[in-house]
């Protein structure tokens, strides 16, 4: 099949590679324009780099304009596949291809439509999540479902680890779905709008941990908000990044939220709104990651974490 592929993030890479290796003719890869990165160096453009490695044509327009659509039509693309591209596409774009456009979404739609579905699965404590291939319309992640694959969310899953897992599952599912389409076995199913939920872009405001939260909630934040925006907490009067830890089923003793209950080796046990949280790794401003014990050494013994 002659397909155009639109994607911009690391999540897109296994799907693009799988399409090429399965023998589909990827006529153009559309990805975000190059941007400046840290210290004057260009920011990584993983989809562009992989497309060039595979010998595929690349387009990097700021927007999916009529000129871009015309270019894809000139390349005789039958189907547009959109995988973590980062832009909403107009109906005129989606209807410009003989077979329409398919979206690759890392959740079990209609749950977790929107910008941060993988983090949302962890933040909300979902036991399962997955990948959905769906026929796109102008609404956000709302078109008919073509295929889905379900996966268990590991109790200690982080957003980066779950992203890698779902990216590989998406690639396999996408190739299978194209095979099913070719054989005429696909039966699109409308999404149940009553079951729909939405996620929004994560912000720095999401990152602040309050010790009045439950230990389980704090744990989901630490695992779900990696790598962006991360989590921050107050430790001995300083704001530090909270990089790793775990909730405890039973703390060392009673305490108000923020009280230091004790240490376990290099880790620090802190009382929360419900239960205790054991901090394993923090990062002070302008410093490298370290254990909380290393951070506290050389300071006054803390009586409380606010």
CATH number at 253 reads 3.10.25.10
Q: What is the C-alpha to C-alpha distance for residues 161 and 105, in angstroms, rounded to an integer? A: 17
Query: Does residue 208 share a domain with residue 74?
Result: no
Let me know if residue 15 belongs to a domain. Answer: yes
CATH number at 159 reads 3.40.50.170
Query: Does residue 216 share a domain with residue 182?
Result: no
Let me know if residue 67 belongs to a domain. Answer: yes
Check residue 195 and give its pLDDT.
Answer: 97
Let me know if residue 303 belongs to a domain. Answer: no
Let me know if residue 144 belongs to a domain. Answer: yes
Host domain of residue 188: 2-199
DSSP the chain: -EEEEE--SGGGHHHHHHHHHTT-EEEEEE-PPP-B-GGGPBPP-HHHHHHHHTT--EE--SS--HHHHHHHHHTT-SEEEEES--S---HHHHTTSTT-EEEEESS-TTTTEES-HHHHHHHTT-SEEEEEEEE--SSTT-S-EEEEEEEEPPTT--HHHHHHHHHHHHHHHHHHHHHHHHHT----B---GGG--EE----GGGGB--TTSBHHHHHHHHHHTTTTT--EEEETTEEEEEEEEEEESS-SS---TTBEEEEETTEEEEE-SBSEEEEEEEE-TTS--B-HHHHHTTSPPPSB--
Instruction: Tell me the whole-structure pTM to 2 decimals.
Output: 0.93
Query: Does residue 227 share a domain with residue 96?
Result: no
Query: Does residue 55 share a domain with residue 38?
Result: yes
Check residue 43 and give its pLDDT.
Answer: 77
Q: What is the pLDDT along the chain (306 residues), one digit of tens a residue?
A: 999 999 999 999 999 999 999 999 999 999 999 887 666 677 789 999 999 999 999 999 999 888 899 999 999 999 999 999 989 999 999 999 999 999 999 999 999 999 999 999 999 999 999 999 999 999 999 999 999 999 999 999 999 999 999 999 999 999 999 999 999 999 999 999 999 999 999 999 999 999 999 999 999 999 999 999 999 998 878 899 999 999 997 666 678 898 889 899 999 999 999 999 999 999 998 899 999 999 988 565 544 554
Calculate the alpha carbon distances from 215 to 218, 219, 259, 272, 294 in Å.
5, 6, 13, 6, 23
Check residue 236 and give its pLDDT.
Answer: 78
Query: Does residue 161 share a domain with residue 30?
Result: yes
Bridge partners, 282 (sequence order): 242, 290
Check residue 306 and give its pLDDT.
Answer: 46
């Amino acid at each position: 099949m002659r397909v155009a592929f639109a994607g911009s993030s690391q999540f897109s890479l296994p799907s693009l590679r799988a399409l090429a290796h399965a023998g589909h003719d990827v006529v153009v890869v559309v990805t975000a324009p190059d941007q400046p990165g840290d210290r004057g160096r260009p920011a990584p453009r993983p989809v562009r780099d992989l497309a060039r490695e595979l010998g595929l044509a690349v387009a990097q327009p700021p927007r999916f304009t009529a000129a871009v659509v015309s270019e894809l039509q000139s390349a005789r693309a039958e189907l547009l596949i959109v995988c973590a591209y980062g832009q909403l596409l107009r109906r005129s774009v989606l209807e410009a291809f003989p077979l329409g456009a398919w979206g690759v979404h890392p959740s079990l739609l209609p749950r977790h439509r929107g910008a941060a579905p993988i983090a949302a699965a962890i933040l909300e404590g979902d036991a399962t999540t997955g990948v959905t291939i769906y026929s796109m319309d102008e609404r956000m992640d709302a078109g008919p479902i073509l295929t889905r694959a379900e996966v268990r969310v590991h109790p200690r899953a982080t957003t980066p680890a779950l992203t890698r897992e779902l990216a590989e599952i998406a690639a396999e599912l996408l190739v299978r779905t194209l095979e099913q389409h070719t054989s005429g076995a696909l039966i699109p199913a409308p999404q149940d709008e009553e079951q729909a939920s939405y996620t929004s872009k994560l912000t720095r405001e999401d990152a602040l941990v309050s010790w009045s939260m439950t230990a389980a909630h704090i744990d989901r934040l630490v695992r779900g908000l990696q790598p962006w925006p991360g989590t921050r907490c107050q430790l001995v009067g300083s704001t530090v990044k909270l990089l790793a830890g775990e909730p405890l089923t039973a703390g060392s003793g009673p305490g108000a939220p923020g009280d230091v209950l004790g240490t376990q080796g290099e880790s620090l046990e802190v009382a929360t709104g419900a239960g205790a949280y054991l901090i394993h790794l923090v990062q002070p401003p302008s410093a490298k990651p370290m254990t909380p014990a290393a951070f506290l050494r050389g300071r006054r013994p803390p009586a409380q974490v606010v």
